[in-house]
Structure 1
Amino acid sequence: MLKRAEKLAEVILRHSLKVKKGEKLTISASDFSSLELLEPLYEQAIKLGALVNLDIFTGNFNVGRADFGNFAKIFYKNASKAQLEDVSLYSLQTEWADKVVKIVSIHDKNFLKEIESNKLTVRQSSLRPVSDKMLQKPWCLTYYPTKALAENSEMTLDEFTDFYYDACNVDYTKMDAEILPLQILLDRGKRVEIKGDGIELSFSIKNRLSLGVDNGKHNIPDGECFIAPIEDSAEGFIEFELPQIYNGNEVEGIRLEFQKGKVIKYSSKSNSKFLKSIFESHEGNKRIGEFGIGMNKKITKYIKDILFDEKIYGTVHFALGMSYPYKRGGGKNQAPIHWDMIKDLRHKGSSIRVDGTLIFKDGKIMK
Structure 2
Amino acid sequence: MDERIHEHAEVLVDWSARVERGDDVVLSVAEGAHDLAVAVAEELGERGANLVATYDSAEVTRAYLTAHDGEFEAGVHELALVENADVYLRLGGGRNTSATADVPGDVRQEYASASAEVREARMATDWVSTVHPTRSLAQQAGMAYEEYQAFAYGAMLRDWESLAGEMARMKELLDEGSEVRLVKEDTDLTMSIEGRTAVNSAASVAYDSHNLPSGEVFTAPDDTEGEVFFDVPMTVNGRRLRDVYLRFEDGEVVDYEAGANEDVLETVLGTDEGARRLGELGIGMNRGIDRYTDNVLFDEKMGDTVHLALGRAYDSNLPDGEAGNESAVHVDLITDVSEGELEIDDEVVQRNGRFQWEDGFEG
Letter in 2 for 1:77: T
1:30 maps to a residue whose letter is A
Counterpart selection for 2:60 from 34, 49, 71 = 71
Deviations 1:303-354 (A, max 9, x none): 111111111111000001111232469961112211100000012xx11111
CA–CA distance in structure 2, aligned partners of residues 208 and 8 of structure 1: 32
Q: CA deviation at 1:132?
A: 1.2
Q: Deviations along 1:226-247, whole A, 9 cap, x unmatched?
A: 00112xx111111122223321
The structure that is strand-richer by fraction is 2
Q: Distance in 1 between matches of 2:280 and 2:318?
A: 11
Q: Contact (CA 8 Å) 2:312, 2:326: kept in 1 or not?
A: yes
Conserved 8 A contact 1:211-1:328: no
1:353 matched to 2:343? The reply is: yes
Q: Distance in 2 between matches of 1:194 and 1:288?
A: 14
* Equivalent in the alignment of 1:284: 274
Structure 1 stretch 326-335 or stretch 129-138: which is displaced more? 326-335
User: Match for residue 56 of structure 1?
Assistant: 55
1:149 maps onto 2:147 in alignment: no
Task: Please give the alpha-carbon distance, in whole angstroms, between the structure 2 residues aligned to 1:213 and 1:104.
Answer: 19
**Corresponding residue to 2:329 among 337, 342, 350:** 337
CA distance in 2, matches of 1:187, 1:101: 29
Match of 1:176 in 2: 164
Q: Does 1:322 align with 2:322?
A: no
SS in 1 for 2:328: coil
Q: Is the 8 A contact 2:219 2:317 kept in 1?
A: no
Aligned length: 350
Determine the structure 1 residue equivalent to 2:27: 27
Larger deviation, residues 212-221 vs 146-155:
212-221
| Unpaired segments ≥5 residues, structure 1 | 58-65
Amino acid in the other structure paired with 2:15: H
Helix, strand or coil at the partner of 2:115: helix
Residue identity matched to 1:224: E
Alignment-derived partner of residue 361 in structure 2: none
1:135-146 correspondence runs (5 A): 135-146=123-134
Contact 1:168–1:220 (Cα < 8 Å) also in 2 = yes
Residues 27 and 183 of structure 1: is their aligned pair in 2 closer, same or farther, counting only changes over 3 Å? same
- Seen in structure 2, the aligned counterparts of structure 1 residues 278 and 102 have a Cα distance that, compared at 3 Å, is closer
Q: Which residue of 2 aligns with 1:63?
A: none
Partner residue, 1:60: none
C-alpha deviation, 1:264, in angstroms: 1.2
Separation (CA, whole Å) in 1 of partners of 2:327 and 2:19: 32
Q: Given the alignment of the two structures, is residue 207 of structure 1 paired with residue 199 of structure 2, yes or no?
A: no
Q: Is the 8 A contact 2:202 2:214 kept in 1?
A: no
- Letter matched to residue 27 of structure 2: I
Aligned to 1:62: none
Deviations 1:181-233 (A, max 9, x none): 11011011100111112211111000011101543441111110000112xx1
Kindly report which structure 2 residues correspond to 1:9-24, keeping only aligned pairs within 5 A, or say none.
Answer: 9-24=9-24
Letter in 1 for 2:114: S
C-alpha change, 1:331 and 1:340, in structure 2 (3 Å) is: farther
Cα displacement string for residues 247-294 of structure 1 (whole angstroms, at most 9, x for unaligned residues): 112222211111111111112222223323333342211111100001
Q: Deviations over 1:81-136 (max 9, x none)?
A: 34x32412321210221111110122222222211111111111111111112212
The counterpart of 1:90, out of the listed 78, 81, 105, is 78
Worse-superposed segment, 278-287 or 163-172 = 278-287
Q: Whole-Å Cα distance in 2 between the matches of residues 332 and 235 of structure 1?
A: 17
Residue pairs, 1:89-108, within 5 angstroms: 89-108=77-96
Output the CA distance in 2 between the equivalents of 1:38 and 1:279.
Answer: 35
SS state at 1:319 partner: strand
C-alpha separation between the residues in 2 aligned to 1:128 and 1:325?
15
Residue 124 (structure 1) aligned with residue 112 (structure 2): yes
Change (3 A) 1:156 1:99: same
Secondary structure of residue in 2 paired with 1:178: helix
> Which amino acid counterpart does residue 342 of structure 1 have in structure 2?
I
Query: What is the aligned-residue RMSD (CA, Å)?
Result: 1.8
> Aligned letter for 1:89?
H
Structure 1: how far apart are the matches of 2:147 and 2:196? 40
Q: Is the 8 A contact 2:275 2:329 kept in 1?
A: yes
Aligned-partner Cα distance in 2 for 1:101–1:279 = 29
In structure 2, C-alpha distance between the alignment counterparts of 1:16 and 1:298, rounded to whole Å:
17
Q: Are the aligned partners of 2:244 and 2:256 in contact in 1 as well (CA < 8 Å)?
A: yes
What's the counterpart of residue 222 of structure 1? 214
Matched residues in 2 for 1:280 and 1:27: separation?
32
Structure 2 Cα separation of the partners of residues 39 and 99 of structure 1: 17
Q: How does 1:40-51 map to 2 (within 5 A)?
A: 40-51=39-50
Shift of 1:167: 0.8
TM-score of the two chains, using structure 1 as the length reference: 0.91
Q: Share of identical aligned residues, percent?
A: 26
2:3 corresponding residue in structure 1 = 3
**Whole-angstrom CA distance in 1 between matches of 2:185 and 2:199:** 27
Distance in 1, matches of 2:179 and 2:74, equals: 42
Q: Is the 8 A contact 2:230 2:245 kept in 1?
A: yes
